[in-house]
Amino acid sequence: MAGEAVVGVHVPAREATPGQKGLKAGALGFVSSVVIGVASTAPGYSLAASLGLVVASVGLQAPAIMWVAFIPMLLVATAYYCMNRVDPDCGTTFSWVTRAFGPWAGWLGGWAIIVADVVVMANLAQIAGLYSFLLVGADGAAASTFWVTLVGVIWIALMTAICYIGIELSARTQWFLLAAEIVTLAVFAVVALVKVYSSHPAHALHVSADWLNPFAISSTSALIDGVLVAVFIYWGWDSLVSVNEETEDAERVPGVAAVVSTLILVGIYVVVSIAAQAYHGGQFLVDNSDDVLSALGKDVLGSPWNKLLIVAVLTSASASTQTTILPTSRTSLSMAAHGALPRHFGRIHPRFLTPGPSTLWMGALSIVWYVGLTIVSENILFDSIAALGLMIAFYYGLTGFACAWYFRRELLRDWRTFVLAGIAPLVGGLMLALVFVKSCIDLANPANSESGDSWLGLGPPLVISIGFLVLGMVLMLLQWQAAPGFFRRRTEVAPVGALEG
């Protein structure tokens, strides 16, 4: 594929608008958009890896944390809805922040998306490799770093190829992977709750409404710690907005789908967390926090049906691997089309109508990052993943602030605009700013890193985050010197009546 011809569609910075980049317009419908948004968050894997940590922070109020952590995501989703109505550009945060705060802030917003996606690919690939072996009972290979890494690389290459070939194939693949994941999680939740009330497993608990009450949490500090863990299991739904230029009714459907996908996610997370802690109690989840679903699988579903939960985590990680490629390739495509990256990244494959070079670069960089850090140090790999929270909170929060500022002259036009474009995005941005600051404080402590090492007196995850920021600023300055046109753009405000109709 890498050798196939591509055709450039670079547009001068001031003329780059949605629809001119050459992507296949109208290829996705509303349901496909929602599927991409839900699949991108990897709900099966997210629950398996984080539920035990949430219970360790807040006890049996874990389901409450699931819906509390959903609030900033919903509020930021309204920012995506409003900004997409005015500017359905596949660059999302990059394009919107550029309009509101200028090209320098917009460039860093786009860079944060690219870095976060490349970094998380290593984690997703490792999970996909590990669970591929666990599914077939090859425990020896699952314990081998070499074989897990090799299969992880194959997963990245496979999903890159699917994204390269076409957006319709990507969507069809997501339908299959997400269906397998959601059905398995639903079966698990139903069977677990039925057994709680019929066969009374050891340490089982009857469901209590108090589990959904965040005010029952013992302290504010515990509440914040729980939200810090849970808020990032919602990350990824914005992938569906990054394919807005390939979606029917591009100004409306992606924004609505973003809100709907977050609502579906909160339902999944609350129901499954209730079923999981009801079956064996909270302490069991804490003791098996590395993978609570596999730990519960044999008791809830029995053998060999417990393999279904391995399928859920595997399909979750592989689906998210694919959908993580989509926003990165579209962000770099948009940045190139606006003159913020070299023109090479703005080329579209003439047959598949996908961002050919950007997609291949995303896959290649992900493989290099994953294999390189695995060889150097798995601790550094895990520390880089811990740094993800800062990048996510940064660009989500920045999008919320950008929306409120961009629509500032329209906010008093009517209550709908005031709430959707002003209050909701601003509050969501502030909540994520709090998460960002708290994460910085936590990650500054070397004890909170995978290795426990101190780099320059700070925790490795925070140093890695700072390193990516410095690298981004260097690359931004180099692009400014090479092509200063984009960086002369002025800030804008929303047109009159932008959200009417």
SS (H, E, C) 214-280: HHHCCCHHHHHHHHHHHHHHHCCCCHHHHCHHHECCCCCHHHHHHHHHHHHHHHHHHHHHHHHHHHH
Q: What is the pLDDT of residue 33?
A: 93
SS3 (DSSP) at 369? helix
* Structural domain includes residue 309: yes
pLDDT at 161 exceeding the cut of 70: yes
82-96 confidence digits (pLDDT tens): 999 999 999 999 999
* Structural domain includes residue 109: yes
Positive or negative torsion for Cα 371, 374, 376, 382? positive
pLDDT at 12 exceeding the cut of 80: no
Q: Choose the weakest-confidence range: 272-286, 306-320, 362-376, 379-393.
A: 379-393
With a CB cutoff of 8 Å and minimum separation 6, the contacts of 111 are 472, 475, 476
Q: What is the pLDDT of residue 3?
A: 37
* Structural domain includes residue 347: yes
Q: What is the pLDDT of residue 389?
A: 83
* Structural domain includes residue 304: yes
Q: What is the DSSP letter of 494?
A: P
The number of helices, as runs of H, and strands, as runs of E, in the chain is 20, 2
| Arithmetic mean of pLDDT over the chain | 90
* Structural domain includes residue 333: yes
37-88 confidence digits (pLDDT tens): 999 899 999 999 899 989 998 999 999 999 999 999 999 999 999 999 999 9
> Rounded to whole angstroms, how far apart are CA atoms 161 and 367?
13
96-139 confidence digits (pLDDT tens): 999 999 999 999 999 999 999 999 998 899 999 999 999 998 99
* Structural domain includes residue 392: yes
Q: What is the mean pLDDT of residues 205-216?
A: 95
Contact yes or no for 349/164 (Cβ under 8 A): yes
Q: What percent of the chain has pLDDT over 70?
A: 96
Q: What percent of the chain has pLDDT over 90?
A: 68
Q: What is the pLDDT of residue 191?
A: 96
Choose the most confident range, by mean pLDDT, from 108-112, 218-222, 381-385, 439-443: 108-112
Q: What is the pLDDT of residue 17?
A: 60
pLDDT at 477 exceeding the cut of 80: yes
pLDDT band at 16 (very low <50, low <70, confident <90, very high): low
CATH of the domain at 415: 1.20.1740.10
Positive or negative torsion for Cα 493, 496, 500, 501? negative
* Structural domain includes residue 497: no
**Phi-psi domain of 201 (left: phi exceeds 0; alpha: psi -120 through 50; beta: other):** beta
Domain that holds residue 106: 27-488
pTM of the model: 0.90
Burial environment of residue 336 by CB neighbours within 10 A (0 to 12, 13 to 18, 19 or more)? buried
Tokens of residue 200, six digits: 């009374």
Q: What is the pLDDT of residue 207?
A: 95
Q: What is the pLDDT of residue 9?
A: 39
* Structural domain includes residue 217: yes
Q: How many residues does the chain have?
A: 501
> Rounded to whole angstroms, how far apart are CA atoms 450 and 124?
17
Q: What is the pLDDT of residue 167?
A: 86
Q: Among all chains, which residue has been given the structure tokens 């010197």?
A: 481
Tokens of residue 112, six digits: 């944060």
Which H or E element spans position 347?
strand 347-348
Number of domains in the chain: 1
Q: What is the pLDDT of residue 21?
A: 82
249-308 confidence digits (pLDDT tens): 999 999 999 999 999 999 999 999 999 999 999 999 999 988 899 899 989 998 888 898
For residue 69, the one-letter residue type is A
What are the backbone angles phi and psi of residue 20, rounded to the nearest 5°?
-95, -5
pLDDT at 11 exceeding the cut of 50: no
Q: What is the pLDDT of residue 4?
A: 31
Q: What is the pLDDT of residue 18?
A: 62
Q: What is the mean pLDDT of residues 373-390?
A: 83
Q: What is the pLDDT of residue 501?
A: 64
CA angle 252, 489, 258 (to 5 degrees): 20
Q: Choose the weakest-confidence range: 4-13, 239-248, 273-282, 313-322.
A: 4-13
